[in-house]
Amino acid sequence: MKVLAIALIAALVCITQASPIGEEVEVPELAADAMQPMELLNGARQRICTPVMCQNLCRSLGWRYGSCNAQRFCVCRRKNS
Task: For residues 17 and 29, give the distance between their C-alpha atoms in angstroms, rounded to a whole number.
Answer: 28
Q: What amino acid occupies position 53?
A: M
Strands (E), 1-81: 65-68, 74-77
Question: How many whole angstroms separate alpha carbon 43 and alpha carbon 65?
Answer: 26
> Looking at residue 30, what is its pLDDT?
54
Residues 6 or more apart whose CB falls under 8 angstroms from that of 30 comprise none
pLDDT score for 76: 92
Q: What is the pLDDT along the chain (81 residues), one digit of tens a residue?
A: 888 889 888 887 877 776 666 666 665 565 445 555 555 555 555 668 889 989 998 999 999 999 998 888 889 998 655
